[in-house]
Amino acid sequence: MDAFDLINSIYKKQPMNAVGLESHVGILLNSWLRLNPDNLPALKKINQFLYYVTPQHYLILLFLLIPHRPYPPRYQYIKKKEKEENSLDKKLCYVLGWSKHELEIHRPLLDKVLDRDYWKKELAVKGD
């Protein structure tokens, strides 16, 4: 079962298939269920058993102690934001023959030393 299906089953108190769960499922469920403040007292009680019981038994404890809700909260995972690449950085990488990784290594030095306004004019970079 998917972690979100397990969370739905825990909240709605529906039967679930707990056979063949991996050991990290308890940690995963803890990290998602702690986002709801109503679950914190129950998770505080259960958390001490996380590493000592099997994942199936931990799931049963969650099932018994998390309060019933007809509609579980909608969990939205945080998507990793990709950094927007600066057009001046692109041009500097091209002129200096650097890769993105090399630019990230030298970024602290460039931020201290580089006069961005001057180099935007010099390299004919628009925007930013």
Residue 30 is encoded by which pair of tokens? 């803890």
Supply the pLDDT for residue 41: 92
Supply the pLDDT for residue 78: 61
Residue 73 phi/psi, 5° resolution? Answer: -65, 150
Is 75 within 8 Å of 35 (Cβ atoms)?
A: yes
Which sequence spans correspond to the domains of the chain?
A: 3-65, 87-122
- Which pTM does this prediction carry? 0.55
Sites in the chain below the pLDDT cut of 70: 75-79, 83, 127-128
Supply the pLDDT for residue 102: 92
Own/partner pairs, 81-87, CB within 8 angstroms, 24+ separation: 86/128, 87/125, 87/126, 87/127, 87/128
Supply the pLDDT for residue 127: 67
First-to-last CA distance in the chain?
Answer: 47
Supply the pLDDT for residue 122: 86
